[in-house]
Amino acid sequence: MPLPDRFLDELLARTDIVDLVSESVRLTKKGNSYWGCCPFHSEKTPSFHVVPDRQMYKCFGCGKGGGAINYVMELENLPFMDAVAVLAQRAGMQMPEFGTAPGARERRDRILEINRQAARTFHRWLHGPEGAEGLAYLQKRGLSRRTLTNFGLGFAPNRWDGLITELAGQGYDKRDLLDAGLAVSSKEGRIYDRFRNRVIFPIIDVRGNVIGFGGRVMDNSMPKYLNSPDTPVYNKSRNVFALNIAKTSKAGRVILTEGYMDTISLHQAGFDSAVASLGTALTEEHGQLLAKYFKEAIIAYDGDGAGVAAAQRAIPILEKTGLKVKVLRVTGAKDPDEFIKAYGREAFARLLDQSENQVDYRLAQIQKKYDLTDDSQKVAFLQEAAQLVSTLYSAVEREIYGGHAAQTAGVSPETMKLEVDRALKGRLRKARKQQARRDLTPASQLQPRARGLRYENLRSARAEEGLLRLLMLDPGLMGQMGDIKGEEFSSTLLGRAFDLLRGRAAAGLTTQLAALAGSFTGEEMDHLAQVAAQPESVANSQKAIEDYISLIRSEHLLRGEGEQGDDLLLAIQKKYQQKKAYMEEKT
């Protein structure tokens, strides 16, 4: 059942796109609009544009765009109805009733409630007879009772159906636990608890919801860690452990660790901005999420080969989000937890302050690959270092870090500068060639980014886009558009959008882009946002509408649709044949 139009209208009227986006993106006002770094992809230079007059956003980097509903759908990975529910709660509105049949939102709510009850059960078991072994393990790791409570740590007993039985008494069946990822189904169809004989780490999102769990064994058995699978409420690539606590830290910098225990130990020692990715390598989504709350990141991974490799992968991901990145070098211990236990909190705080700039760290890792006493390897080191330094945006940075590499290899800064300049010129030359290839095909720049939305007739489509923009800007202009319909458009997508907006205008409803969110896919909305973001003026709207409609209809006829189109094509062909015969006779 669709949402009532009036409800959607009121919701959009109560939701200001600038206020909404400002909750997750730092925006800067420029003229009549706002700019910031896109929350949907990694970037340093802001290309995310928010237009209050049109109540829409558009990223000119990744192409994402739409209105308030689309923004929540993309940011929270929610379906349309769930995103509307989030905005309704934010606006203090009651969602319309749709009967008792459970839908996607009801399923999400039920999974969140199951997770909450499961977390309570695990925590109770930790402090009961079943959890004696788990409690002893955590205490041996140095965790206080207060820390256990703050993080809601728990224990899953060594039983196949412990949680299934416990939650069955609260009205949840095995299918509910399967949906939440708390149970597993075997090939034979047997359903049993996912977590058994493990200490449990609840995973809590920034809103305070329990969205998943991690379980750790207490010995050397494998797998060491077991995590919840992706569910309608949990995606390991889009959530970060302990960010619900770290986001309120006054430290101003996030400490990125490799796992649950490192993060919890740091919090217990007073470093409340520590977080960890969830059983997966750091992703762009992780970086974007951290950049919403912090300006600086310190990578505090283990110093072994795996930790160094993970840090190398994490640096560019974090850098692209605009975070200032440093790398912690733990000496005298294998990880932060061990260091604090051995040397104390104050020593670790000093170590944090001495964290190495990520460029120097990467140069040091390059250096380890070469024997600088060998001239040929020294040359190879300087060439690879020059490639790294040439990627730095600032000339000052290139000079400083080029000088560091030169000093390491024992050559002059001037020599290194020549090598860096050569690497930079090669990079710029490659970029110019790519741009030149794009410039040679200007028509392709007018096409939608998605291949499935290609325009068959660019001339007509540009005019169709113009009509859409005018209708979005002022629904009152509908009266000047006569009886033109979407079926006359060359683009099916634009025709559908026009008919929907025309119908809304006739009903006295808003024609803002945001109102179309429930009728189009995310890909289609991205393109409609691109259309809406183009400049258009209502100052000479009557003349513009006449020109647009004239062009659309002439192109429609030329496509041979209907008897008029056939007649016109025949007339054109006849005229061409007459002209051809005349020219042949003349020659």
**Does 251 lie in the same domain as 206?**
no
Residue 89 has pLDDT above 90, yes or no: no
Count CB-CB contacts under 10 A for residue 320: 17
Q: Kindly state whether residues 50 and 161 are assigned to the same domain.
A: no
Q: Count the neighbouring beta carbons within 10 Å of the beta carbon of residue 119.
A: 20
Res 431: pLDDT: 79
Last residue of a domain, one of 34, 63, 91: 91
- 255 and 328 inside one domain: yes
pLDDT, averaged across the chain: 86
pLDDT tens, position by position, 519-578 = 888 888 888 888 888 888 777 788 889 889 988 888 887 765 444 444 544 554 555 555
CATH number at residue 202: 3.90.980.10
Q: Residue 556 in contact with residue 488, Cβ under 8 Å?
A: yes
Question: 74 pLDDT exceeds 50?
Answer: yes
- pLDDT tens string 183-211: 999 888 899 999 999 999 999 998 889 99
Mean pLDDT value across residues 509-514: 88
147, part of any domain? yes
CB 388 within 8 Å of CB 362 = yes
Asked if pLDDT for residue 392 goes beyond 90, the answer is no
Torsions phi, psi of 240, nearest 5? -130, 130
Average pLDDT for 128-141? 94
Based on the domain organization, do 480 and 564 belong to the same domain?
yes
**CA distance readout (Å), 423 to 398, 402, 415, 511, 552:** 11, 12, 13, 51, 50
Answer yes or no: is pLDDT of 10 > 60: yes
Per residue in 448-495, pLDDT (tens digit) is 766 667 788 888 888 999 999 898 888 888 888 988 998 999 988 999
Q: What is the mean pLDDT of residues 279-287?
A: 82
Pair (113, 155) in one structural domain: yes
Could you tell me if residue 470 is inside a domain?
Answer: yes
CA distance linking residue 366 with residue 576, whole number of Å: 70
pLDDT per residue as tens digits for the range 47-71: 999 999 889 999 988 888 999 999 9
Q: Give residue 19's domain range.
A: 5-91
Residue 587 located in a structural domain: no
Angle between helices 104-126 and 80-91 (to 10 degrees): 70
Write the CATH number for 325. 3.40.1360.10
Q: How far apart are the first and last CA of the chain?
A: 71
Count of alpha carbons within 13 angstroms of residue 521, beta-carbon side = 6
Q: What pLDDT sits at residue 569?
A: 45
Task: Give tens-digit pLDDT for 223-261.
Answer: 888 999 989 889 888 889 999 999 889 888 999 998 899
Q: What is the model's pLDDT at position 101? A: 40
Q: 92 pLDDT exceeds 80?
A: yes
Residues 339 and 367 in one domain: no
Tokens of residue 386, six digits: 């020059």
State whether 111 and 223 are in the same domain. Answer: yes
Please, which pLDDT band fits residue 383 given cuts at 50, 70 and 90? Answer: very high
**235, part of any domain:** no
> Is a pLDDT exceeding 70 seen at residue 100?
no
Same domain, residue pair 342 and 413: no
Q: What is the CATH number of the domain that holds 410?
A: 1.20.50
Please, are residues 65 and 59 in contact by the beta-carbon 8 Å criterion? Answer: yes
110 and 164 both lie in a single domain: yes
Domain count, the chain: 5
